[in-house]
Structures are given as structure tokens and as C-alpha cells.
Amino acid sequence: MRALIVPTVVGLAVALSACGGVEYRDTNAAVDARPECASGPTRPGETPPAWCERKTEAKWNSDSKGEKVDFKKKDDAPR
């Protein structure tokens, strides 16, 4: 399921990038690098520490102060 979410988020970010910007972040590499996160909770019902939680997030921002494009202007270079 997670393998489907990441390409979907990235695809959505690429499709909407003309209208704004997207910052993608996940904590998988940081969690994998910590040895204490590899074993998991030792007792049933125990929650893992916050630094061992895997998160995937995308932050969308739209900048409405963008430069307007003049489509009526002709090209400078001859064809």
C-alpha cells in the first residue's frame, strides 16, 4: 500500500507544480539508520518512540504573487 502512495504523491506534485510548489518529506531513511528502531516495541501494546515513527508528508504552497505571462507578445527570434 505504501508503495502506491509515494508515486501517487509525487505524480500529483508534478502535475500541480505549475500552480505552486510541493515539499515532499519522509522519515524512512532516518528511522532505518537508528538501531533502537529496528527491534520494535518489546511488550505487547507498547507504542514505539516518536523518533521511530515513519512519516510521509507533502506540503503544498501556492504563490499567488506569480508573474503574469503575456501571450499576445510575438517572439523576438525569426523562424
Query: What nine digits make up the cell of 43?
Result: 511488550
Q: Which residues in the chain show pLDDT less than 70?
A: 1-3, 12-20, 63-67, 75, 77-79
Query: What nine digits make up the cell of 63?
Result: 504563490
Q: Tell me, yes or no, whether 32 lies in a domain.
A: yes
Q: Residue 28 belongs to what domain range?
A: 24-40+52-59
Q: Tell me, yes or no, whether 35 lies in a domain.
A: yes
Contact status, residue 55 vs residue 29, Cβ threshold 8 Å: no
Q: Tell me, yes or no, whether 11 lies in a domain.
A: no
Q: Tell me, yes or no, whether 47 lies in a domain.
A: no
Q: Tell me, yes or no, whether 34 lies in a domain.
A: yes
Q: Tell me, yes or no, whether 15 lies in a domain.
A: no
With 0.75 as the threshold, say if the pTM is over it: no
| pLDDT tens, position by position, 5-24 | 777 777 766 665 556 677 88
Contact status, residue 20 vs residue 62, Cβ threshold 8 Å: yes
Q: How many domains does the chain have?
A: 1
Query: Phi and psi (nearest 5°) for 11?
Result: -65, -40
Contact status, residue 32 vs residue 79, Cβ threshold 8 Å: no
Q: Tell me, yes or no, whether 36 lies in a domain.
A: yes
